[in-house]
Amino acid sequence: MSGPDDLLVDVTGLAAELASAEPPTLLDVRWRLVGPPGRADYHAGHLPGAVFVDLDTELCGPPGAGGRHPLPDPAVLQRVLRAAGVRTGHPVVTYDGGDGMAAARAWWTLRWAGHHRVRVLDGGFPAWVGAGQPLSTEPADPQPGDLTVRPGGMPALDAGQAARVAAEGVLVDVRTAPRYRGETEPVDPVAGHIPGAVNLPAAEYVGADGRLPAADLLRERFAGAGVRPGVPVAAYCGSGVTAAQAVLALHRAGYPDAALYVGSWSDWLTDPARPVATTDPGPDSERDPDPGSGSDPGSGSGSDRP
């Protein structure tokens, strides 16, 4: 089990570790929902020794029936991580462009793959640059790793399991309120949310700089959404990236069993028989005993966060 102190590393701590005899494996996962891939950013300047890994094509499977960012094929992921130098039992640090989402999804993916010695650089690339730390433009050439991917290290939900959590526990939708309420949907074809899910937009528990607040503040904010000890909790978003950051925040808040609905809304909509809700039940309302109740998917306006 991880605690709040082994989820994140700050710039000072990482710089000291990189200067040590046994530096962690460093993964650059800079990524944009819309725009050019992060590889160009990597070549323009990255943390010394970092290896670039592409979120869309290497840490996730191809978009399709499982959503826009489904689970990767374990064999493919193993090849990617070994090529990046990930070794069994050796620590890994992930970083992104500063919002913390891609780094958190990489953190979650490695833990799901059975590698639990992984942390996120707090504040990401901007924090490193802001502290005056050095950069490199030389691509890393790591020694091949030996990690064996063993899926199941983190709880990953499918649509039916997410619906059950919404009915019996707390399923947190971390998209913006207008998307949750069905007022707008800039990415997916239908607006709304999974019936029974409660809304806690990511901006309410993540700083504008992508940093997570202290554990006690996170517990307070998740409690406002109905999260409490002994009750199943899971998170979803548009495609499982922002929600991975929510799982990281839930771990920091003391909920190490928090689950991720990996396919999230983009997977939910692949079956037109799945219901779509557009009303807000609130965290204290009674749970719908039938997770299949709700309105049928229809046309919606068509992210600020994936």
Instruction: For residues 267 and 275, give the distance between their C-alpha atoms in angstroms, rounded to a whole number.
Output: 13
pLDDT of residue 6: 87
Q: pLDDT over 70 for what percent of the chain? A: 90
Phi, psi of 291 (to 5 degrees): -65, -5
Tens of pLDDT along 89-133? 999 999 999 999 999 999 999 999 999 999 999 999 999 999 999
Examine the pLDDT at 289 and tell me if it is beyond 90.
Answer: no
The dihedral through the CA atoms of 50, 93, 71, 281 has a sign that is negative
Catalytic center residues: 237
pLDDT of residue 295: 39
Tens of pLDDT along 219-260? 999 999 999 999 999 999 999 999 999 999 999 999 999 999
Q: Which domains are assigned to the chain?
A: 4-130 (3.40.250.10), 156-268 (3.40.250.10)
pLDDT of residue 306: 72
What letter does residue 229 receive in the DSSP assignment?
T
Map residue 95 onto helix, strand or coil: strand
Average pLDDT score, the chain = 91
Map residue 15 onto helix, strand or coil: helix
Q: Which of 147, 151, 145, 146 is nearest to 73 (CA)?
A: 151
